[in-house]
Structure 1
Amino acid sequence: MMFSLKSALAKPFAYIIKKSILKWANNPVETQHKVFENLIAEAKHTQFGKDHDFSNIKTHADFVSRVPVRDYEDLKPYVERVVAGEPDVLWKGKPIYFAKTSGTTSGAKYIPITKESMPTHIEAARNAILMYIAETGNANFVDGKMIFLQGSPILHEKNGIQLGRLSGIVAHFVPKYLQKNRMPSWETNCIEDWETKVDAIVEETLPENMTVISGIPSWVQMYFEKIQQKTGKKVGEVFQNFNLFIFGGVNYEPYRAKFESLIGRKVDSIELYPASEGFFAYQDQQKEKGMLLQLNSGMFYEFIKADEFFNEQPTRITIKDVKLHTNYVMIISSTAGLWAYNIGDTVQFTSLAPYRVIVSGRIKHFISAFGEHVIGKEVEQALKEAVEGSSVQVSEFTVAPQINPTKGLPYHEWFIEFENEPQDLGILAAKIETALQAQNSYYVDLIVGKVLQPLKITVVKKNGFQEYMKSLGKLGGQNKIPRLANDRKIADALTKNNLTN
């Protein structure tokens, strides 16, 4: 292989960045304290800062007493003033962008991105790759082509501020040294219809030396399937130098077996935890579970135990008081002007030195129709254990309560789209049931107490989940299927249109 200046330079750069990351990661409490002090100082003359007496906030306890936890709906009166063009509302000056997201309860959400917060999104994505290079010594992939499956980079304007999806905004900030390697082309990236876009991406990438592929697993899966349909070959044969898959947005585990089948071999992967509100964490070690929490990126973190979250006065703690393997709702304050903001995710810490997290679910995406408190991580883990070592492959799934069955006790209904269906659904259901009961004592009590009967599986037809997302206008981009819900909105839609006969 020819000597490559780019890959040769990547390694020393990676080691320099790793050293700077370890500096703050090894001083976590002090790092977060500095972030907190800076946030309060910078925002005390904003409207929000004046309304909440920032001038007299010296400690975390002061902050807790003055600034309540808010979600988007609660913060909306301030956001609307920012959207209207008013400066110095949540953060000094005006934002440089709004990341527009489709909220489940509040319609469109406008998340401000400021000149201080924007670089942290870019640096975290870059550092995830550099930490991989520093750990593995593998930098050859930087000479090949890289694809990032994302939303359209076309931006619109609202009262002088650029507006678009986060992935589209980020597309404007790809470093110059990656521009030649980056795919798809700008024209293809601007295609709005997701299926048309994926077809165009397949055509563009087939002749190329693809080394890195990135995106939300469910949408990368569609891309891989189209490649296989067109070529009749495994993705790993088509792209022989493809060795790194970068993903975020959902847990990869339910997709891993399917991906290895589509690729035809194992590839390294890096998990990211990006959101419109901030780039919170990324996988910094191949052999460690969890992602390194970004403590030096202009974000101050608070945590509330998930099972206390809906209490009248839940306790808000900082990183120095968190414990391993406990389900926390993550609350952030940031240089984007979000204050004690509930992003809706639940996390668990897998390490406290350094601080690493996994996303365990959504505080609104759980099943507790009967007091069982079943969360996303539990259903994903149960399914993973149930199919392990078998030929069963799952494409997509979601879980909902069946409160009024035609006969018998209520139960959890698992809607599963299979790539490889089991010969006996009953055996698979029993394995999932066993694995779920092993994780959740509330659920066991309800089964034993004859409040619930064991779960049942309902098979969704091939591409049924894609059709459901398409019907909502949410096919592709950053959209994803919730793993579970406390109601039957998704379940009823799937039952109506997308079940096998």
Structure 2
Amino acid sequence: MKPALSKVYASIVAKKIKKWDSGAASMQKATFRRLLEGARNTAFGKDHGFSTIGNYEDFRRQVPVRDYEGLRPYIDRVVAGEADVLWKDKPLYLAKTSGTTSGIKYIPISHASMPHHIRAARNALLLYIYETGNSDFVDGKMIFLQGSPVLSEKNGMKVGRLSGIVAHHVPAYLQQNRMPSYEVNCMEDWEQKVDAIVEETLPENMTLISGIPPWVQMYFDRLSARSGGKKIKDIFPGFSLFVYGGVNFEPYRLKLEQSIGKKVDAIETYPASEGFIAFQDSQKDSGMLLNLDAGIFYEFIPAEEYFNEKPARLSLEEVSLDKNYVLVLNTNAGLWGYSIGDTVRFVSRNPYRLVVTGRIKHFISAFGEHVIAEEVEDALMTVASREQIGITEFTVAPQVQTSAGELPYHEWFIEFESIPADIEKFRLQVDEALQQKNVYYFDLIKGKILQPLRIRPLKKGTFIDYMKSQGRLGGQHKVPRLSNDREIAEKLMEYC
């Protein structure tokens, strides 16, 4: 019954979303007006003259772009329990995240914004069903590897990790299929939790598995070890759909597919505490569909202008294809001109589909090369895929302090599945691939300002040990691909 009903529902939702293709600009304008009206009488709205804003030009002039620290004076008032600061009333939740400069961050989730987190995840699955006709997975068990749903309370608001908050809003029709059990999901120690999930799921008919790729891989490794080395397809014959987000899938694809033992369909999502920004709507077309039903008015700053005194600030209809933009959000939870820190690139404008290319603060530009995450991931995985070399995890940092007469270089810390037989050849191939991706890097190599990259192979389990030492194992935590300093690199040296 469920598979048949889901196809009917999928058809209805798909027809509604198809209207986004031609109506994106008008939808964004309507969202813009609703947001301004909703926050007109808040402290922020009064401070920034929302009652006098008649168009987007006025908004850009009166509401500056801010990151968390810039908006923090208002957020601190919200956390202290004050109502009507950034949005009407108090937030329903405070999503707790960790930042590099801000320490613990509290992102408001309002009564108005919460439903969009659930609806977007549902729509991603329904569009998959509509396009492929595959709906059998809804009858099996589904697992969502996520943070603990245990919430604390602060001044009348529930506080927790986004994935834990969302766990309280899973639709009733999915509750019977959902795993792990609530008790196991509440476990805080990630390794103990994964082991407990393995024990609970081994005898079940798992058909959908969702989570951040490196932690799903950890789950697969322990499943295989527990079952005597079996492939995931033999443990879960009905497993047919992998839902992921948070990181680029490509560096993990080969190893995950080897662990599974067959190819399965995958759906990429782009959820954040600030809002559910995009989701993959097609198995045939690249990129994720920008979520226009999210209570978010989107803005975009060309990445190369972001640190300028007055960078260009564009609405959705002003963006171009194949250009890196820093994403700026205005939401019905009260984030205004909020720079989320991610960079995106549009691959389609009808409909608006994008890919996440990295973090604006995660780059290497020790010599003006401005190498970004998308470029290093693509360079490494192009060569690794061609050579059939498995990559578990990696990160890159500059090495400026070299011996006398030696040129500086980019140092790549790579945990291989098995070290390449000719690592020197592999190193030069990756360097060549990166030169082709980044013209500034090419010029620096050819101009003898930098020498070709160097690779430092790491022993198996290094990144898990490192993340554990930082208290960031599991959940929504990710290893930064790039650093413009040696902080992570020096810590990884301890595991060599």
- Provide the TM-score with structure 2 as the length reference: 0.99
Partner residue in 2 for 1:443:
441
Matching residue of 1:391: 388
TM-fit CA distance, 1:201 = 0.3
Tell me how far apart the structure 1 counterparts of residues 26 and 438 of structure 2 sit (CA, whole Å).
36
Cα distance in 2 for partners of 1:185, 1:313 equals 51
Match of 1:324 among 321, 328, 331: 321
Report the Cα distance in structure 2 between the residues aligned to 1:147 and 1:354, rounded to whole angstroms: 30
Q: Deviations over 1:118-174 (max 9, x none)?
A: 000000000000000000000000000000000000000000100000000000001
Shift of 1:230: 1.3
SS in 2 for 1:255: helix
What is the CA-CA distance between 1:424 and the residue it aligns to?
Answer: 1.4
1 CA distance for matches of 2:70 and 2:215? 32
Render the CA deviation track for 1:57-111: whole Å, top value 9, x for unaligned: 1111100000000000010100010011100000010000000001111100000
256, 275, 284: which one aligns with 1:259? 256
Amino acid at match of 2:156: G
Q: Once the two structures are superposed, what CA deviation does each residue of 1:429-448 show, in whole Å capped at 9, x if it has no partner? A: 11111111111001011111
C-alpha RMSD over aligned residues: 0.7
AA of the residue aligned to 2:184: T
Matching residue of 1:223: 219
4+ aligned runs moved over 4 Å, structure 1: none
Amino acid of the structure 2 residue aligned with 1:460: L
Contact 1:391 1:420 in 2 (8 A): no
Aligned sequence identity (%): 61
SS, match of residue 417 in structure 2: strand
Q: CA offsets per residue over residues 258-292 of structure 1, 9 Å max, x none?
A: 01100011000000000000000000000111000
Q: How far did residue 420 of structure 1 move?
A: 2.1
Q: Which residue of 2 aligns with 1:360?
A: 357
Distance 2:298 2:25 in 1: 11
Whether contact under 8 Å (2:362, 2:484) holds in the other structure is: yes
Which of 295, 312, 317 is the aligned partner of 1:315? Answer: 312
Unaligned runs of 5+ in 1: none
**What amino acid does structure 1 have at the position aligned with 2:261?**
G
Structure-1 separation of matches of 2:70 and 2:448 = 40
Task: Provide the C-alpha distance between the structure 2 equivalents of 1:55 and 1:365, rounded to a whole number of angstroms.
Answer: 38
- Read off the aligned partner of 2:106 and give its amino acid letter: Y
Q: How far apart, CA to CA, are the structure 1 residues paired with 2:133 and 2:273?
A: 31
CA contact (8 A) 2:419 2:457 kept: no
Partner of 2:135: 139
Among residues 188, 192, 196, which one is paired with 1:200 in the alignment?
196
Say whether the 8 Å CA contact 1:32–1:296 is kept in structure 2: no
Aligned to 1:115: 111
Aligned residue in 1 for 2:24? 28
> Aligned to 1:281, what secondary structure does the other structure show?
strand
Structure 2: give runs of 5+ residues left out of the alignment: none
The residue number in structure 2 matching 1:179 is 175
TM-score with structure 1 length normalisation? 0.98
The corresponding residue for 1:67 is: 63
SS in 2 for 1:477: coil
For residue 238 of structure 1, the aligned residue among 235, 248, 257 is: 235
Number of residues of Structure 1 aligned to a counterpart in Structure 2? 494
SS in 1 for 2:345: strand
Counterparts of 2:20 and 2:349, CA distance in 1: 14
2:309 and 2:65 map into 1 onto residues whose CA distance is 12
> Of residues 433, 455, 468 in structure 1, which corresponds to 2:453?
455
Conservation of the 8 A alpha-carbon contact between 2:207 and 2:238: yes
SS at structure 2 position matched to 1:147 = strand
Match of 1:427 in 2: 425
Deviation at 1:384, TM superposition (A): 1.1
